[in-house]
Structure 1
Amino acid sequence: MSAVPAEYARYFRADDIAPLECLDAFYTRQVFTPHFHEEYVVNALTLGAQSYRYHGSSHVAGVGALVLINPGEVHTGESADAAGWGYRGFYPSATLIRGLASQLAGRPVEPFFRQTVIYDLDLARRLALLQPLLAQCHDRLQRESALYAVFADVLQRHMGVRERLLACDQPRLQQVRALLADRLADNLSLQQLADSAGLSPWHLNRSFRAEFGLPPVAWRNQLRVARARQLLAQGVAPGQVAAQLGFADQPHLTRAFRAALGVTPAAYQRAVRS
């Protein structure tokens, strides 16, 4: 019987050409609890199958599928195959995708993925080939041209657009989310958040979860991990990151980071700064 390959998660960034993080990963035992990304998620499945919860439903993606997630939308992740699942993951910033979509549309638009699992063998193959090109090629023109060619097709085939000037339907909840983001390291109470929005703590907790997929405390914790990624990529030491973002200590940061990304903060920092 052949041995099951060891899990791995190899991150790198392509910031010299675009605000983009990439991940080449294979997991067998890793289980991602509910979390979100500030970026878009474009994963091309290369091995096995993945299952995950998203928008209240269960989804399964196998080889040749694209897993597509919009920024800020909560999802999980685990293996749907006894042998695990592997994928080439791309996390382009909202600024990058919004700019590309607006160029294609000829006007300011807000792009969004219409579906979360798409079987597009051509794009899955091209995305899988794009990642080693971005990581290894030194020709910036070639890398940038390939990146925009592939993601232009992702947008044109699988994204819809909304006019950007849409009013928010939940201004008080957006206000609470902004307060959490602005005071990420502060020890805010649920009562303080509720007072800022003119809601009761119970109503805020329930409404926030209905609107954003997580209660305020879990949303704050996920945002702390997202901001930790940015600081680690800039070279800030993990202990300093933990203190700056309100984690109790560095082990607390490590536990939260591993649960969300499958690697330790130190391993992530080595990967993206190598």
Structure 2
Amino acid sequence: MRKEIKTLVYDEELRLEAYRFEGMAKAFPNHFHDYYVIGLIEKRERRLWCKHQEYTIGTGQVLLFNPGDTHACVQADGGALDYRGLNIPKEVMLDLAEEITGNRALPGFSPAVLYDEEVSCYLRPLHDLVMNGSLEFGKEESLLLMLSLLMQRYGQPFEECIPECREEIERACAFMEEHAAERISLDQICREAGLSKSTLLRAFAKSKGVAPYCYLESLRIGRAKKLLEQGMSPMEAALKTGFSDQSHFTNYFARFTGVTPGAYRDIFLKSSGTGGEGQASP
């Protein structure tokens, strides 16, 4: 059986993550990120669910996930996935969008899956430059050219990509964001939203694409990543982000990102900003 290889590099100059999965057979459950994901399938096929749509994705296809886009995937052909991707934080995308368009507004990309050889021709060498720790300005040039093309062909104002949500669901989300580090109950969320449990669960899944608990855990994982990037220990990060214990945190973190919290933190402890095992899911 082919060995899984997961590699992640953080580029301090571009302020983004590049990662590569080789021989990846595991499935990723339904989840979302608070950053942009731009990925390229190098080999094999997967079934992908994104924002209530199902896709068969394969070699040469580009994935575009906006912050908050719910998605899940499983291997479809009995093989193992080869995939490369970039994770771009929203604050970085704001700066890049302003540089490219002169308008400081987040873009929203659609569709989530596309085949565009010109985009791939920018993405693959850019990814290689970041993974290899290049210090030349060519990588910044490639990033700007790639995003210019993506915004021109597949971009629209980010707000238009966010599905309309009922006021009650927004109150539930705001409550979970405010109290994510605490132990909260479904009863508390329902009281805040003013909905019964069954109504909340149906409406929340329809609006956000995930159940409330998955939404809460994804919030916690996102905050834990930021603490780990600052050098905090996995145990401290678990306690500060509301996980019941370090074991639960480690299992959940690895399930949704493909790497343990300790391995993720080690990437950012290296002064060179390179090396380490891989992270986020396709």
- In structure 2, distance between residues paired with 1:185 and 1:163: 28
Q: Which runs of 5+ in 1 are unaligned?
A: none
Q: 2:206 aligns with which of 210, 222, 226?
A: 210
**Number of the residue aligned with 1:189:** 185
**Number of the residue aligned with 1:17:** 14
| Misfit runs of 4+, over 6 Å | none
- The alpha-carbon deviation at position 57 of structure 1 amounts to 2.5
SS in 1 for 2:25: coil
TM-score (norm 2): 0.86
- The alpha-carbon deviation at position 61 of structure 1 amounts to 1.6
**Number of the residue aligned with 1:221:** 217
Structure 1 residues 167 and 125: CA distance shift in structure 2, 3 A: closer
* Amino acid across the alignment from 1:233: E
Contact kept? 1:232, 1:265, Cα under 8 Å: yes
Q: 2:114 aligns with which of 98, 118, 129?
A: 118
User: What is the CA RMSD across the aligned residues, in angstroms?
Assistant: 2.3
**Number of the residue aligned with 2:279:** none
**Number of the residue aligned with 1:258:** 254
> How many residues are paired up?
269
- In structure 1, distance between residues paired with 2:128 and 2:3: 20
Contact kept? 2:230, 2:268, Cα under 8 Å: no
Q: Which has the higher contact order (CA 8 A, sep 6+)?
A: 2
The within-5 A match list for 1:66-215 is 66-139=62-135, 141-161=137-157, 169-215=165-211
Does the alignment pair 1:238 with 2:234? yes
SS in 1 for 2:137: helix
- In structure 2, distance between residues paired with 1:272 and 1:129: 23
TM-score (norm 1): 0.88
Q: Which runs of 5+ in 2 are unaligned?
A: 271-282
Question: Greater shift after overlay, 81-90 or 105-114?
Answer: 105-114
- The alpha-carbon deviation at position 199 of structure 1 amounts to 2.4
Contact kept? 2:41, 2:84, Cα under 8 Å: yes
**Number of the residue aligned with 1:65:** 61
**Number of the residue aligned with 1:6:** 3
Contact kept? 2:234, 2:246, Cα under 8 Å: yes
- In structure 1, distance between residues paired with 2:80 and 2:44: 6
